[in-house]
Structure 1
């Protein structure tokens, strides 16, 4: 044998041996690795991350929570043209290969051998990409690639081609937090998949290669190049589109723009409450498992609450006068318009208030530039509320705020210095119908509706009066509106005063409520005992710790939240029942399956004592036994339940106070609106409107809490730093307009709540000066209500008793 043949034979045998060894090694590796591969059949049951959706009771979007935008689409709902675009861009032979594209692999190997590049394109099929996205990292190594290829083969054996393609199209990242082709269509074009044009589908198909750096928003030029020079020509080359379709698609411009989900209900404070409650219930997965939460708020009511609150704050701010420009841009006249617009755009965004820089002023008004709308004209009437003309107020370069009124008029405005909150509940169930925690959630996430502990002032007086009605007082009882001095053991003296510093002498409790007389409330609390009143008032849901154990409690020195006040007023509105505020009506999973649904305990005035009368216990105050007093219910502080849903299917709410007491207090609150400090609320035009104003020392807090129709609502205005709102900013001036604005809208077409007195309540005629009984029909007599047992006592006392003496008294308090 010739030498060269011998060497050839040896090389052949060596190569064969090495090949067999390689095959053996590969078989050994395959034998070892294959059993360790995950069970890919579980991909049929995989749950892709979906955001938490929060919506109103009528199905309007409030918020989406989660890092991912994704709307999974079944493969049969993805248009053929969209599928073709992705197949052309990523894996044209997808329906032909068995998970691995041999041509692509050989091309990648050739590039590795023939070039010095560390990474080469090609070789990864759609199946391999799915395997990598679900099971592997993006590490670039031969080991990872080998596992990816094995997984692809295994997936092709376990899953159908359509199942794999569906996983791919719903999993891939498109930049801007959009995952899946449906979310990408929504974000970049504001369209559903069936609404996409050929050019738009091709644009989306070109994104996954470089989702962050070459999407049509971050880098439109590069995205257009990939669409026009790769995806569309590739579709034509593969016979997926005609030459005419190619030409038309190439001519279509880039129309992509950010399309965030349209929020239809302005309720960010409520949305945050839902997020916290869901995380407490389901953990961190609550934001990624596609839960849909339906809240109790109604979109129209919530939007009306936001509008009323902002209007009230703007009105208050105008009363306090113009504070001057928010800023100033030097040499504004010499700057280009685009540079000037950028500087204006850097000012913080405020709801309903646009930042604008003054360009020039004149007799007819002022010309300004805004970042979004360009040049605008402010008419002279737009500064009328300041008492000065635009030329007197402004100069070129000043940065100010502009507000557009409902009729389109542009007016000068400024950021409110005060804050406000509004809570509205259905008094029968405790369902939150509207909740606003401040002027702007974006500026400050502190929820004043549920977190701000503020003094309620005179709006707390109805609870003191209710406690007195349990101790034999009634609306016609006479209490002195006269000076009183209290001294403690240390010699400190307290001289409570009425707001105007005057004294009215003997006064019926009904009239004292209408006129909000402080001295009557103080004397009344002193008469019934602080400890008794404190224990009684906890039945409205207040914690004992929140109620000061002294006579100042009668003037509203407790620290309470607007939510707590609203829940407590619901007891008067619903006939004496304690309902728990709640805001989540239903929780569904990603498939629409209802996981939990609210079944609140309801107030039921027609049910008598059913629903859990509070157990009695003796009340001993300062050594005196006042007999039985209802045991306080478990206090929740008046906050909306932190658990997502309240307990109790079809249960009745527990009774908090006597139905007769609730009726008498409610009738007095109706009088406060008819002829007292809440008279402005008569503008709503309903006879069932009642409530109480509240103000605190130095005008730090302004309140109005009340009811009407099926709602009980509280509005509060104050400053976060507890400084004064300004002289004269009472509850009836600062808070009541917000309450009126909301209730006027919320009670539209709601039937008037007319209710008869409950059993055991007697309608009587009394002497308005003395509170004594008069024969029915007596001229000058007034009709009022008393409990049956109190009526018997009044009869025993006789008709027409004398007027009490009017004098100042001093008391020692310990």
Structure 2
């Protein structure tokens, strides 16, 4: 009898095999305890899949909407500018961040491998992130790591953090870092990432980037690093301050050396280094930390001058220069600059006693050296310390130069000739004779006197000395004011100004105006201007504008600098004639103390009205140097008299300035073979030429006009008419007597001028004098 299988079975019924139950696959009513609340495996799996899908979707969405930033953060953009001496050694660095970007090709491959061995050995094969490292870092920080987010980052991640993100230690920043790293790795080459990393990562000692680190720890450029040194710099990346062996404990040193071994062993493992190479390596001790030189001492004056040159010539704009990254090689010679600094400071220390003599307070010195023919500025003295006195005395244009201006008057006469009473121009030579007596009335070429306050102008000589009939050469030796003032009028003040500008003085120099007193040095060119202009005579008439920068690069790329054009304002005969006369100043004139240089030299002293400044400007064929001295009230910045300084009744240009010039030049040129001037510049002009009888002067008297006489004709006579200037706009008080004292650079005898018309028909011509 058949049974209905759907009905209940009785005791006699035979049961079929019981089906196997799957894990968790039983009615919830049959589960006991905690199991009744657990989801089934299917439910659990479904839940996990849903979460993972959502997570992947979220990651995908974040990946899609997170761009690689187009701009780097401000910190990563900032670099230092590095300023170098002419020999390539470093002067200083400027900028808030000590960083200098270099191309990857400039970094030795062994140094690159050392960094990879320390930080990311799979760099060239990974996708920009380390999953295991990132997860490990997240777990550690989720557990409450006290040091913030832990490591585990690839080089790409570190680069993204340094360059695109902030340094905040949050899970959100870490997640964003990973996303950007993956995208960056897909769009940028590994070399670009490695370059960016090596130029942005911090190495300690304030050094950002591998170039700054090489300088900070070994005092060399990155291209000179050895494998051992590169391995130590790689060690620093893990903990820059703690791993500096110059600032750690003995235990810390052992830890650093172990890490250094780890890096080198890793290079062997990656076959970047052979076991044989590794075996002979010794830990390279870094140098002691050096305080930032920055702008203290002479550095600030050098940097300021070079920076101003770059800005004034539109080489770079100020914003780009301030952003940094430039390597500026200057023309400054380190040894010469240090010698100049030491010379001035030693001389002032030996001569001055501000505690005992009030006259010794506020004394300042301005000095500059220029290379004749090239225009390179090799040394300056702008002051004792830039951070205490930021005004650069070597470049300021407010100190009168006195009789050091007279060579430009002579150069103008030699080049342009002098105008006679008939309006013709006659050639002159250093042997041309003038009336050198004191208080001679200065006249226009037509014979009319130059007037000051309605009275004929008589500038006078220092100490009221009468020299009688005297050659221009000997008048330069003695710095005779009356001769060179009259010569300036005979040539024409406008031509005198032009001659000075052609030699190298800026046309914008204050006081450089075509007025009668310009020949006495009433203008105020800087010490640098004067050294440059005299260098024109040293270079036989070739003139180049002075410049302080030889080379400029940024990130390895050369930046173009202005061309240095050579002008020829004077032919060699004219320039050499000036040199011949100025050699006489050293050999037998007011600059006799410069004979101690013991090599051919030419120069001119200068001492101004009321002894407000004193100068010596001179040169050899190899170097032109100016040395100026003045005194300034610290509170009002008013110029004070040098009388009484160093216990001297008067500070002449032939005294302290010439002494400093000679001491410096002797040390600056030490070891260099003495170079001779051209043969025709030799002396022999030291006295009056009795074979020349000055016409139209009669018996020389203090009031007689100083009419020139010429030697044998030297060329065609010019016919250029004298130029004129607008009428005078004001007058000055009458001349005062020269200060008492010994001889020097030709002391001043009247006050600074206002504009004076050159026209012989002008009713009055206010004039002034400084010597």
**Take 1:221 and 1:467, find their aligned partners in 2: how far apart are those partners?**
74
**Counterpart selection for 1:285 from 320, 345, 350:** 320
TM-score when scaled to structure 2? 0.67
Give RMSD over aligned pairs. 5.1
**Counterpart selection for 1:751 from 675, 685, 695:** 675
Q: Residues 230-254 of structure 1, C-alpha deviation per residue, up to 9 Å, x if partnerless? A: 786899999979xxx99x99x9998
TM-score when scaled to structure 1? 0.64
Instruction: Answer yes or no: is 1:770 the counterpart of 2:672.
Output: no
**Shift in Å, 1:126:** 3.3
Could you say if the C-alpha distance between residues 21 and 416 of structure 1 is closer, same or farther in structure 2, counting changes exceeding 3 Å? same
Equivalence for 1:807:
none
**Shift in Å, 1:558:** 1.4
Partner of 2:203, secondary structure, is coil
Moved more, 103-112 or 708-717: 103-112
**Shift in Å, 1:710:** 4.5
Equivalence for 1:520:
483
**Take 1:144 and 1:583, find their aligned partners in 2: how far apart are those partners?**
47
Point out the structure with the larger strand share: 1
User: Superposition pairs for residues 18-37 of structure 1, below 5 Å?
Assistant: 19-20=49-50, 22-24=52-54, 26-31=56-61, 33-34=63-64, 36-37=66-67
Equivalence for 1:16:
46
**Take 2:541 and 2:227, find their aligned partners in 1: how far apart are those partners?**
62
Whether the 8 Å contact between 2:406 and 2:521 is mirrored in structure 1 is yes
**Shift in Å, 1:769:** 7.0
Whether the 8 Å contact between 1:34 and 1:150 is mirrored in structure 2 is no
Structure 1: where are the runs of 5+ without partners?
326-414, 605-654, 758-764, 774-781, 793-810
**Take 2:58 and 2:516, find their aligned partners in 1: how far apart are those partners?**
88
**Shift in Å, 1:665:** 3.1
**Take 1:81 and 1:512, find their aligned partners in 2: how far apart are those partners?**
68
Equivalence for 1:682:
595
**Counterpart selection for 1:132 from 158, 161, 169:** 161
**Shift in Å, 1:72:** 4.9
**Shift in Å, 1:561:** 0.8
**Shift in Å, 1:456:** 0.5
Moved more, 573-582 or 162-171: 162-171
Query: With CA pairs under 8 Å and 6+ residues apart, which has the higher RCO, 1 or 2?
Result: 2
**Shift in Å, 1:220:** 5.2
Q: Residues 165-224 of structure 1, C-alpha deviation per residue, up to 9 Å, x if partnerless? A: 6654443202222123564354235577987797x8786555445545774556657954
**Shift in Å, 1:754:** 0.8
Partner of 1:586, secondary structure, is strand
Aligned residues: 630
**Counterpart selection for 1:176 from 193, 205, 223:** 205
Equivalence for 2:641:
724
Instruction: Answer yes or no: is 1:705 the counterpart of 2:617.
Output: yes
**Take 1:109 and 1:660, find their aligned partners in 2: how far apart are those partners?**
83
**Shift in Å, 1:743:** 3.7
Whether the 8 Å contact between 2:81 and 2:100 is mirrored in structure 1 is no
**Shift in Å, 1:271:** 3.4
Q: Residues 97-116 of structure 1, C-alpha deviation per residue, up to 9 Å, x if partnerless? A: 64444443443444455559
User: Superposition pairs for residues 281-430 of structure 1, below 5 Å?
Assistant: 281-283=315-317, 284-286=319-321, 290-297=325-332, 299=333, 303-308=335-340, 310-321=342-353, 323=355, 418-430=363-375
Instruction: Answer yes or no: is 1:500 the counterpart of 2:463.
Output: yes
Could you say if the C-alpha distance between residues 33 and 99 of structure 1 is closer, same or farther in structure 2, counting changes exceeding 3 Å? closer
**Take 1:93 and 1:663, find their aligned partners in 2: how far apart are those partners?**
71
Q: Residues 571-627 of structure 1, C-alpha deviation per residue, up to 9 Å, x if partnerless? A: 444454553222333334443x544266422245xxxxxxxxxxxxxxxxxxxxxxx
Could you say if the C-alpha distance between residues 260 and 287 of structure 1 is closer, same or farther in structure 2, counting changes exceeding 3 Å? farther
Equivalence for 2:302:
270
Could you say if the C-alpha distance between residues 79 and 571 of structure 1 is closer, same or farther in structure 2, counting changes exceeding 3 Å? closer
Whether the 8 Å contact between 1:669 and 1:690 is mirrored in structure 2 is yes
**Shift in Å, 1:783:** 11
Q: Residues 477-497 of structure 1, C-alpha deviation per residue, up to 9 Å, x if partnerless? A: 322413247996756897634
Whether the 8 Å contact between 1:108 and 1:120 is mirrored in structure 2 is yes
Equivalence for 1:587:
552
**Shift in Å, 1:31:** 3.9
Could you say if the C-alpha distance between residues 101 and 529 of structure 1 is closer, same or farther in structure 2, counting changes exceeding 3 Å? closer
**Take 2:571 and 2:181, find their aligned partners in 1: how far apart are those partners?**
73
Equivalence for 1:672:
585
Equivalence for 1:639:
none
Whether the 8 Å contact between 2:586 and 2:594 is mirrored in structure 1 is yes
Instruction: Answer yes or no: is 1:601 the counterpart of 2:565.
Output: yes
Partner of 2:659, secondary structure, is helix
Q: Which has the larger radius of gyration?
A: 2
Equivalence for 1:227:
256
Partner of 1:37, secondary structure, is coil
Whether the 8 Å contact between 2:537 and 2:579 is mirrored in structure 1 is yes
Could you say if the C-alpha distance between residues 209 and 567 of structure 1 is closer, same or farther in structure 2, counting changes exceeding 3 Å? same
Could you say if the C-alpha distance between residues 416 and 785 of structure 1 is closer, same or farther in structure 2, counting changes exceeding 3 Å? farther
Could you say if the C-alpha distance between residues 478 and 130 of structure 1 is closer, same or farther in structure 2, counting changes exceeding 3 Å? closer
**Take 1:223 and 1:163, find their aligned partners in 2: how far apart are those partners?**
34
